[in-house]
Structure 1
Amino acid sequence: MASGEVSREVPADIGTTADVVVIGAGACGLVAALRAKAAGAEVIVLERDASPSGSTAMSSGFVPAPATRFQLARGIDDDTPQRLAADIMAKSQGKSESHLVKLASETIGPALEWLADRFGIDWIVLDDFLYPGHSRHRMHAVPEKTGEALLARFLAASQAAEIPVVTDACVIRLFEGKGRRIDAVEVERPDGAREVIGCGALVLACNGYGGNPDLVRRYIPEIAGGPYFGHAGNQGDAVLWGEALGARLEHLSGYQGHGSLAHPQGILISWALMMEGGIQVNTEGRRFSNENGGYSEQAVEILAQPGGVAWNLYDRRIHDFALSFPDYRQAVQAGAIRETADVAGLAKVTGLPERALAETLSEAAELQAGRAVDRFGRDFTVKPALAPPFHAVKVTGALFHTQGGLMIDEGARVVDQAGLAFPNLFAGGGAACGVSGPSVSGYLSGNGLLTAIAFGFIAGASAGVTASER
């Protein structure tokens, strides 16, 4: 559990020191470490787990970025940071912090290109479908299309840069010295041994608070009853340290949900199924929402249905398309995907009422043909009609990760309630306030890795410069 402890008495006998200490070995922390090292700083990354994984490894690994050379290579030549920023603001209905949106949108493209140039990280652009809310094909991924493979690339880059990533190192206390500087951190090992490590600058990259039930109930009670599909180590350390330091915290009610987690297998089912023409029905065999509205807010929609579950229904065309995603192939291997030749068989394999299913699929066909208007506002005419054989997977809604946190300035410095920056404290990713605004519906696909990499990129560079100026 997180302690949030801050001590104003800095130990006199600090042993190990580093120019820059980074807490957290996910995408944000490792990118920050790489940038700080490139700035000439001596860097140590502290990771609470025995092996780095965190939210990055559990994610899809897709990063939205505009105006990159990787897009140009695919013929996408009309994307800009301003267009991405507009998409982010539209999704949050203008409630995102505008300076953070601008900062992330302008930084992410150069960050991905720097990682490619410096460490040979290959980026591909997913241009076979548009995620909800994105006006251009801008999702970047490593060739394996998984968060686990993305994290592996960052770890390999850190090793090549000779950056020590110390595992089984849980930071339990910050030491605040004169002038509000963070002078050291205290680390606890699994055997209870403790060590104080001095720092010239500190980067908080320890994600959000999704793994802390008390904080979830306090800030996002609407999802507190649903499953948590995030890293257990996301205990809200940064939020609690921020409270103790008097930092400004914003949008703690914002989070990413997901309305397509295979139940009970706990495997992520890509929302591409819905964007390609699939539908969701409840246990009564009826649709209940606009499936193209956004997978984050769909988590709440599903949890409000009988039993807190739904079924994804789609056809062979969509199934074959989804097989390109590793998570989906895993779901197939786990037996989560049902296949049947007709509506009667679909009712049998799902346990849903056949008559209601038949009516729902008939209604979807009418909508696709343009002979009716969807009461939920979805446009079915942009994709082919569903046709047998059918596929189905039972899903539930889940909390993935939180989006609120420490407010930062243009240099990723943490600021206090008056907007004044702490001199050597930086944050990014889930530790910082994100760009999704204060509600679940504001999450635009990829916002998590967008701010992890963009803000980590800035925080590392700023921390490296700050440490050199001591």
Structure 2
Amino acid sequence: MFSATLKRTSLALALSGFIAGSAYAAPEVLADFHQEMGDCSTCHVSKKGPTDDNLTHENQQCTSCHGTMDDMAAQDAEKKLKVSPHKSHLIGEIACTSCHKGHEKSVAYCDACHSFDFDLPFAGKWERKFVPIDVNKDAQEKAIAAGPRDTTDVVIVGSGGAGLAAAVSAHNNGAKVILLEKEPVAGGNTKLAAGGMNAAETQFQAKLGIKDKVSTMIDDTMKGGRNINDPALVKELAQNSSDSIDWLTSMGADMSDIGRMGGASVNRSHRPTGGAGVGAHVAQVLYNAAVKSGADIRLNSRVVRILEDAAGNVTGVLVEGKYTGYYVIKSKAVIMATGGFGKNNDRVAKYDPALKGFAATNHPGATGDGLDVALAAGADTRDLKYIQAHPTWSPVGGVMVTEAVRGNGAILVNREGKRFVNEITTRDKASAAILKQTGASAFLVFDDSVRKSLKKIENYIHLGIVTEGKTVKELAEKMNMPVPALEKTIASYNGFVKTGKDTEFARPNLPRDLVSAPYYAIEVKPAVHHSMGGLKIDTKAEVMNKKGSTIKGLFAAGEATGGVHGANRLGGNAISDIVTFGRIAGKSAAEFVKAK
């Protein structure tokens, strides 16, 4: 075995093409390449291959040769790469094997959402196909017959904000937890969320003199959801929202900055200082807390069946480990925190044909497997036909632009250089208005004062999706807009800010005029964002069956559920939902286990 230094040098030279000889001429995959440095044990414990689905040993071998993700990011900086593939919004300890595959073509995980054209060794093309949960029936039945490989109190399915919150909450209430995630990285859609977390009557609102009420948050949420929301769930969301902020803060989260998202009547969207992205921050805080609690977090582990006894009580799950195969975990409770199905356009179009062919803001794992698993266990659903398109997704690079950009003062203009909508109306209305414009897209236009008010904008500039002009005239010319029209639009808007009343589109908040050069624009269009419908739950996060009874031992939280958001989710309510109902699900499951 090479020393770490020698291995690192040899691999770097080989990958750079400096080692002569046909052995390095055209290896197909990393396994072929590494065979030149030894046998299977160069990467694996033995010739039998991986011992766990996290590829713990294999990833340790990677870092022993190449260094950590931070080391690689430093090398990217030295190379002056515009976008570093080793530094991102992904949370947790990112495994090298998330991208660098051993026995198949390597793929840049980022390309599941973006298109950065990374020069990845032994690369293939990113492709994700939906695989039904009931394939390989014989192998599944054989694993069930073999009995449980592991036993725990609570199994949590999904590692987004809801699953991580549930893991921490279940531990805090005395339960032992195994958390399963089918993707090679943790965080779900939560790590992509940017705008904020809605909460009413919080300590941070009080410090800023913001007057808000739980009842007002309830009214806003019901109105935004067209009043088809479950009132009991909305009440639970709003009443617990301030406690959820305090809970996150107690674990080290920074939720002190407050802005406003579409559909809210007051500023209640909490986020890190300076308006930094909320999702990755909250997800990392929860991930750290879950790891500290001792939760057994398993990646590359897809749950394909909830197991029940003859009386219909949950007894565990059947897991499909990507590397270790099918196996059973015995548990007294299961929490489904699997998110929605926005990345599965076939399913999206089934419920809403108007969204067929739309891009999605979701992470690659949001395909609806969890919904299928729960349905097979007899769960009931509600509101599946309500699927939200986020109005401001950038087709350049596939980046969702947070609603907070509009909330902090940006305006939406069309190709004619004119405003056409109240920028902080609800997402469904904003999306519909954009689709009616020439080219079915629009442009977010803002100035330097908006940029300085929101740290998240720096990410968009870094990713190259922002056009800059030293003057409004220069910006209009770069965007191929009529200069007089854009100048008039901005002047009119600034006039509304001075008078405090938008007489054109009745925008309720006018935080700042756009007078600070330079000026910026981002092209945006709607993309599938959130599935409001899902599993039917009660206020304890217990999953209901089609007879209206609870399925004993089955709980759910987050986007996997329906009822909280009705027909349309308000911006900022997703993080509030996953944290609040994740906490509730974890506590309820732990209490259920204790009572058995």
With structure 2 as the length reference, what TM-score do the two structures score? 0.71
CA apart distance, 1:392? 1.6
**Mapped partners of 1:35, 1:108: distance in 2:** 15
CA apart distance, 1:157? 0.6
CA apart distance, 1:38? 1.8
> Which residue of structure 2 lines up, in the alignment, with residue 109 of structure 1?
242
**Mapped partners of 2:195, 2:514: distance in 1:** 30
CA contact (8 A) 2:409 2:510 kept: no
> Which residue of structure 1 lines up, in the alignment, with residue 590 of structure 2?
464
1:103-162 CA-to-partner distances (Å, cap 9, x unmatched) read: 111223223323444xx32332323x4223323333233455432222111111111111
Q: How does 1:214-363 map to 2 (within 5 A)?
A: 214-295=346-427, 297-322=429-454, 324-325=455-456, 328-361=457-490, 363=492
1:316-338 CA-to-partner distances (Å, cap 9, x unmatched) read: 3223323x22xx10211233222
Does the residue aligned with 1:88 lie in a helix, a strand or coil? helix
CA apart distance, 1:375? 4.8
CA contact (8 A) 1:242 1:249 kept: no
Deviates more, 1:295-304 or 1:96-105: 295-304
Give the AA of the match of 1:212: N
CA apart distance, 1:312? 1.4
CA contact (8 A) 2:279 2:575 kept: no
> Which residue of structure 2 lines up, in the alignment, with residue 125 of structure 1?
256
Relative distance call for 1:2 and 1:106 in structure 2 (3 A) is farther
**Matching residue within 206, 210, 216 for 1:83:** 216
Deviates more, 1:345-354 or 1:300-309: 300-309
Give the AA of the match of 1:468: K
Does the residue aligned with 1:153 lie in a helix, a strand or coil? helix
Matched, 1:418 2:547: yes
CA apart distance, 1:348? 1.7
CA apart distance, 1:96? 1.4
Q: How does 1:423-442 map to 2 (within 5 A)?
A: 423-438=552-567, 442=568
**Mapped partners of 1:150, 1:50: distance in 2:** 19
**Matching residue within 294, 307, 326 for 1:175:** 307
**Mapped partners of 2:405, 2:354: distance in 1:** 26
CA apart distance, 1:388? 5.5
**Mapped partners of 2:487, 2:249: distance in 1:** 50
Give the AA of the match of 1:464: A
Q: CA RMSD in A?
A: 2.8
Identity of aligned residues (%): 28
CA contact (8 A) 1:262 1:396 kept: yes
**Mapped partners of 2:310, 2:541: distance in 1:** 21
Q: Specify every segment of 5 or more residues in structure 2 that has no aligned partner in the other structure, as ranges.
A: 1-129
**Mapped partners of 1:254, 1:335: distance in 2:** 33
CA contact (8 A) 1:2 1:235 kept: no
> Which residue of structure 2 lines up, in the alignment, with residue 97 of structure 1?
230
CA contact (8 A) 2:148 2:328 kept: yes
Relative distance call for 1:417 and 1:366 in structure 2 (3 A) is same
CA contact (8 A) 1:24 1:204 kept: yes
CA apart distance, 1:262? 2.7
Give the AA of the match of 1:418: K
With structure 1 as the length reference, what TM-score do the two structures score? 0.89
Q: Specify every segment of 5 or more residues in structure 1 that has no aligned partner in the other structure, as ranges.
A: none
CA apart distance, 1:294? 3.0
Matched, 1:194 2:326: yes
1:332-376 CA-to-partner distances (Å, cap 9, x unmatched) read: 123322222444322321012334434544554565566997454
Higher RCO (C-alpha 8 Å, min separation 6): 1
Deviates more, 1:384-393 or 1:309-318: 384-393
> Which residue of structure 2 lines up, in the alignment, with residue 162 of structure 1?
294
**Mapped partners of 2:131, 2:563: distance in 1:** 21
Relative distance call for 1:364 and 1:69 in structure 2 (3 A) is closer
Larger Rg: 2
**Matching residue within 436, 444, 456 for 2:570:** 444
Q: How does 1:341-420 map to 2 (within 5 A)?
A: 341-361=470-490, 363-364=492-493, 367-368=496-497, 374-378=503-507, 383-384=512-513, 386=515, 389-420=518-549
Relative distance call for 1:205 and 1:383 in structure 2 (3 A) is same
Give the AA of the match of 1:340: G
CA contact (8 A) 1:2 1:236 kept: no
**Mapped partners of 1:452, 1:186: distance in 2:** 25
> Which residue of structure 2 lines up, in the alignment, with residue 455 of structure 1?
581
Matched, 1:211 2:343: yes
Deviates more, 1:395-404 or 1:425-434: 395-404
